[in-house]
């Protein structure tokens, strides 16, 4: 059962009416369900029961401290892509020994901080990065655990902005160069080769690209083994898609796990995964209020108080999010463009939606728990939304709404 469901005509997050959340905390705000986050984590974890594994939650999907802390308490590790995310994970009580560090542009300072924190592994994305990590580890008198992120050249069949496993993408080291690079890494004194990883993209709705990538990675694992390079883990990245709309049919977590487990049958290396969206997307909604209705000859616009700065996915990827009224009605639906107040025609949250709406109504933009708040900005000097975590009948503010004064606190006038 979804954590967001109608009861007595009102949409609830677990046991709390969304109307009540808006009344207490204002709009726009993000609303998350602790039960839904927990269930998604447990589903993923349970699906891989048959093989030693570690979930490294991809922090960039939703980096709120309360969410990181919740996953840490469930036993999760973390996949970070910046020094900022490292600091967040540590502040949230995450175990540094369960952190993998991905990303093509790790700075010297980020590498140093991660080494000092004692992370599980650097997911290295280039030959130059390998050299840099070796040098910094040497200066700190440490041994840096490394994995090479290989680019398996597999088409993830997703939006081009979130496809990462093709030769044309900036990510990882070329498949054909991987063996040579591992041999080079073996010769670097301050590195300890611990794994291999790949991540081919996000919002994948088919298992085939996952199994194709896993096969390519496994072939390398066997070659490395034959060459005397033994790995302790194999990290197959994240990317499992979720259902944003009814026609979308991402594989179930069990189908995904079965396909992966088949591909690694007989191997004893620990499996790592970096799911982001799967763990958080459907555990959150963006709650927004209708300010104005503007009926026109061509289009009807419902102007809401949430905007592209709060939820960028529609503007950036033309992504579709389901939109539900917080109060059920029997009024006749009309066709609406759900738009925000930002001065861009790309500022829409939904187009062509059949809804019965009135000024002052509350709308819930669904599946907003991943890449919602974490991609938000202050464009148009809009303070970022509050974030509320519902837990049964309780609600907790896990991030206060920003104030306008905070937005320009770091700015100064010319002398
Ligand atoms: C973004 C990202 C993920 C998470 O992707 P999801 O589609 O949210 O599961 C995992 N690993 C890396 C390296 C990433 O960049």
Question: Hey, what domains does the chain have and what are their CATH numbers?
Answer: 4-32+281-407 (2.40.37.10), 103-273 (3.20.20.10)
Q: Which atom of ligand 1 is nearest to the CA of 281?
A: 8
With CA atoms as reference, report the closest residue to 285 among 369, 399, 389, 360. 369
Read off the pLDDT of residues 1-53 as tens digits, 9 standing for 90 and up: 589 999 999 999 999 999 999 999 999 999 999 999 999 999 999 999 989 99
With CA atoms as reference, report the closest residue to 185 among 239, 157, 227, 147. 147
Catalytic choice (29, 121, 198, 343): 343
Read off the pLDDT of residues 374-383 as tens digits, 9 standing for 90 and up: 999 999 999 9
With CA atoms as reference, report the closest residue to 388 among 376, 400, 373, 398. 398
Residue % of the chain over a pLDDT of 90: 94
Read off the pLDDT of residues 163-187 as tens digits, 9 standing for 90 and up: 888 888 899 999 999 999 999 999 9
Residue 157 has pLDDT above 70, yes or no: yes
What CA–CA distance (Å, rounded) separates 282 from 398?
18
Axis crossing angle, helix 83-91 with helix 108-117, rounded to the nearest 10: 30
Separation of CA 25 and ligand 1 centre (Å): 31
Mutation probe of ligand 1 site: the residue of 56, 60, 201, 372 with most atoms within 8 A of C-beta: 60
Q: Which atom of ligand 1 is nearest to the CA of 164?
A: 15
pLDDT value of position 1: 55
Separation of CA 275 and ligand 1 centre (Å): 6
With CA atoms as reference, report the closest residue to 304 among 226, 242, 361. 361
Is residue 343 part of the annotated active site? The answer reads yes
**pTM check: above 0.95:** yes
- Cβ < 6 A, ligand 1 pocket: 58, 60-61, 79, 81, 102, 199, 202-203, 237-239, 274-278, 370
What CA–CA distance (Å, rounded) separates 147 from 165?
16
Separation of CA 59 and ligand 1 centre (Å): 9
Residue nearest to atom 10 of ligand 1 (CA): 238
């Amino acid at each position: 059962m979804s954590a967001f469901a109608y009861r007595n005509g009102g949409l609830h997050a677990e046991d709390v009416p969304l109307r009540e959340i808006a009344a207490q905390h204002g709009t726009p705000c993000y609303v998350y369900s602790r039960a839904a986050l927990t269930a998604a984590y447990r589903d993923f974890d349970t699906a891989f029961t048959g093989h030693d594994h570690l979930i490294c939650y991809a922090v960039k999907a939703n980096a709120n401290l309360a969410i990181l802390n919740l996953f840490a308490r469930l036993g999760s590790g973390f996949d970070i892509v910046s020094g900022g995310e490292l600091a967040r994970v540590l502040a949230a009580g995450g175990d540094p020994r369960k952190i993998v560090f991905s990303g093509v542009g790790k700075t010297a300072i980020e590498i140093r901080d991660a080494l000092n924190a004692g992370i599980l592994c650097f997911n290295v994305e280039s030959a130059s990065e390998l050299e840099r990590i070796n040098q910094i580890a040497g200066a700190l008198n440490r041994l840096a655990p490394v994995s090479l992120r290989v680019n398996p050249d597999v088409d993830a069949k997703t939006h081009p902005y979130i496809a990462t496993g093709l030769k044309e993408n900036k990510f990882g080291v070329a498949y054909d160069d991987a063996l040579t690079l591992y041999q080079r890494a073996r010769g670097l004194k301050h590195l300890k080769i611990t794994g291999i990883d790949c991540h081919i993209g996000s919002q994948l709705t088919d298992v085939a690209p996952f199994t194709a990538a896993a096969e390519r990675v496994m072939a390398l694992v066997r070659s490395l083994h034959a060459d005397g390079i033994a790995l302790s883990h194999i990290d197959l990245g994240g990317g499992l898609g979720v259902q944003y709309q009814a026609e979308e049919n991402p594989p179930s977590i069990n189908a995904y796990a079965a396909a992966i487990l088949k591909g690694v049958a007989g191997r004893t290396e620990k499996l790592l995964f970096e799911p982001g969206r799967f763990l958080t997307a459907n555990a959150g909604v963006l709650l927004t209020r209708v300010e104005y209705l503007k009926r026109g000859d061509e289009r009807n616009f419902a102007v809401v108080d949430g905007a592209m700065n709060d939820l960028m996915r529609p503007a950036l990827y033309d992504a579709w999010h389901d939109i539900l009224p917080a109060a059920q009605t029997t009024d006749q639906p009309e066709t609406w463009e759900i738009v925000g107040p930002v001065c861009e025609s790309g500022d829409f949250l939904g187009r062509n939606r059949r809804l019965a709406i009135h000024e002052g109504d509350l709308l819930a933009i669904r599946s907003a728990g991943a890449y919602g708040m974490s991609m938000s900005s202050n464009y148009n000097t809009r303070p970022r939304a509050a974030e509320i975590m519902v837990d049964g009948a309780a609600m907790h503010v896990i991030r206060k709404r920003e104030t306008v004064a905070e937005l320009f606190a770091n700015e100064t006038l010319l002398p």
